[in-house]
Amino acid sequence: MNLSINGVGMTSQRTRDRLINILKQYNIKNESVLNTIATIPRHLFVDEALASRAYENISLPIGHGQTISQPYMVARMTELLLEGDSINRVLEIGTGSGYQTAVLSKLVPSVYSVERIKPLLDNAREKFRQLRLNNVLTRYSDGGWGWPEKAPFDAIIVTAAPEELPTSLLEQLVDGGKLIIPMGKRGEQELLFFQRIGNKFHKKTLEKVSFVPLVNGRTG
């Protein structure tokens, strides 16, 4: 196997193609999202010992009680984010491994990402440097508060599940902006979609999910 950061890397093209076929079976239709997931080297964002499983449709531990989301959930949330009007500025709450950030960086002009676990953020920043993702700006911060200084955003994507909605995030959306967020206690989480229309927020429940908790406004 060939380990690289810019080629097929670590696994055969057949392995990556198999993942893309699985995502299509899960009804992921956006070709830009599928093509991006086919090319982003997910094995770089997991421990070397788990790299051989990087292109399976599963979440994997990344340390500090966190996980890298399964490719389906990354694809699903990204596809939802891209629906409708063009998206130029996205805020991600919970950089984690940096994989979701990297996918977004190939599809959105400007990505802002916050993370409260310093070692994870340091590792993710190094991956962004290796992959030359120059349109990603990161911040070591409590993600529950968002990034008010950089607001407003066209979309906000949250990669950990609070039990209650952080309303400060809604306030950082542009008119027409979207918030995609998992919410609820472990075993009872749902993926929710909010859209801002003026000073009102329209909510849609999408599907059952399982994410690490966002506790007291913090991932972990």
Look-up of token digits 């051989």: 52
How do residues 35-45 score in pLDDT, each as one tens digit? Answer: 999 999 999 99
**Per-residue model confidence as pLDDT tens digits over 17-34:** 999 999 999 999 999 999
Partner residues linked to 204 by β-bridges: 193
Residues in the chain: 220
CA distance 144 to 159: 11
Determine the angle formed by the axes of helices 13-25 and 31-39, rounding to 10 degrees. Answer: 150
Q: Beta-carbon neighbour count of residue 76 at 10 Å?
A: 23
Residue ranges of domains in the chain:
59-219
What percent of the chain lies above the pLDDT cut of 70? 91
Check if 12 is active-site: no
pLDDT score for 156: 98
pLDDT above 90 (res 53): yes
Model confidence band, residue 142 (pLDDT cutoffs 50, 70, 90)? confident
CATH of domain 59-219: 3.40.50.150
- DSSP 8-state assignment for residue 150: G
Tell which residue, 110, 40, 109, 112, has the closest CA to residue 69: 40
Q: What is the mean pLDDT of residues 49-57?
A: 93
Which residue of the set 12, 32, 52, 69 is catalytic? 69
